[in-house]
Amino acid sequence: MPSQARDLAKEIAAFASSNDGIVLIGVADDGSLVGIDGLGEPAARDQFTQRIVGLCKDIKPPVRPKLLWAVEDGQVVLGIRISKGADPLYYVAHRPYLRHASISRPAEPGEVIDAIRAFILGGSQVDSHAADESAFFSKLASVLVGILSWRDTDREIRSLKPWVEHWMSYAAQSSAILRDLAADNVAIEKGLVDQLKELSAHLDKVVGFIYTLGGGNDFDEVSSCASDAAARLMKSVVEPIPLGESTQQNIKHAINKIARKLSDLWSRAAADPFSSLVEDSQRESGEMGRQLMELSYYRLGFLSEEGLNRLRDVGHQLVQLGAERIYLDGGDSQRRVLEKAQTCVNALSEVLSPV
């Protein structure tokens, strides 16, 4: 690891300007393994990953490399895979960087002009490819977080008939999307075709499962195969891609909007606890909870790992709230629902308070 973190940013920017490449951290210039000290535990590696992601934000335009961890002969090594970017040049501290052979260096004025000229003449093709990649990974991420959200929903709720029907419907739609993605050029370039087809096949088994009395364990087993495959894809393919600043801002806005809507929803319900507002609010809260759970699977720079877990927990509580029953018990069940709702409102506010 360079003593000056900015030196690593320059290397990454140079690759993004010039050509695909991999920066190895923990390997000496002569090829011997020296490893990275203090990264034996997953938590330490995760913290180091966040450091690299933060470093990439200093590069303009932002670069989203793929981080690949390896342990060889007891030594921890990090590979930072960088693709040539869609923009003509990438800057660190207002200086553009290029890579020639094994050297990364600032671009000369003439080279800047040449790079911009080449971008103007052929940029539409590069931009189109970058847009195709972005659309591909956005679709894939959306499918995966939906599956993971189902996996982490309380088993008792998942066993209810409406939820089973929803899961089967979602599995059918997702399987079709995955088959379409598997035929995409991006999937072929990235070597993802087999993994996408594998997950699609697992989802087809979910769709084909006949849910009968006493078959719950079998259904859970079929669903688990799909969610395990989705988790592997999420970890290996989606998580290493840092979200762009605009995407992060959109997600942040969406979570804050849900928090405001949730607070207003239950303020109105509390003002008239014996009306249909309570049950209507439950249904809406369940849907908001599902949205929060799905958003919590993305690596968000404005929330720590603990914050994402707490966000997911609030989402899970809201989903459970949506499944609560209201009985003719003199208002006890309404009061219980209102208390749980207020707990969720407060918990979500606490998650967002440092943001």
- pLDDT, tens digit (0-9, with 9 covering 90-100), for 8-42: 999 999 999 988 889 999 988 888 889 998 888 88
| In contact, 105 and 98? CB cutoff 8 Å | yes
Residues 6 or more apart in contact with residue 88 via CB below 8 angstroms: 17, 115, 116, 118, 119, 123
Give tens-digit pLDDT for 132-151.
Answer: 788 899 889 989 999 999 89
| In contact, 177 and 135? CB cutoff 8 Å | no
- Other Cβ atoms less than 10 A from the Cβ of 53: the count is 18
What is the percentage of the chain residues whose pLDDT exceeds 90? 41
Q: Residue 306: enclosing H or E segment and its boundaries?
A: helix 305-322
Per CATH, which fold does 245-352 belong to?
Four Helix Bundle (Hemerythrin (Met), subunit A) (1.20.120)
Domain limits of the chain? Answer: 5-107, 127-238, 245-352
Give tens-digit pLDDT for 262-314.
Answer: 999 999 999 988 888 898 899 899 889 989 999 999 988 899 999 999 999 99
Q: Residue 135: enclosing H or E segment and its boundaries?
A: helix 109-151
CA distance to 20, 114, 158, 262, 289, per residue, from 267 (Å): 54, 60, 29, 9, 17
Q: List residues bridging with 104 in a β-sheet.
A: 99
Give tens-digit pLDDT for 177-212.
Answer: 999 999 999 999 999 999 999 999 999 988 887 555
Residues 6 or more apart in contact with residue 323 via CB below 8 angstroms: 157, 160, 286
- Other Cβ atoms less than 10 A from the Cβ of 18: the count is 20
| In contact, 178 and 197? CB cutoff 8 Å | yes
CATH of 5-107, one of 3.40.50.10540, 1.10.760.10, 3.30.470.20, 3.30.950.30: 3.30.950.30
Residue 298, SS3? coil
CA distance to 173, 265, 300, 344, per residue, from 337 (Å): 33, 13, 31, 11
| In contact, 263 and 177? CB cutoff 8 Å | no
Q: Do domains 5-107 and 245-352 have the same CATH topology?
A: no
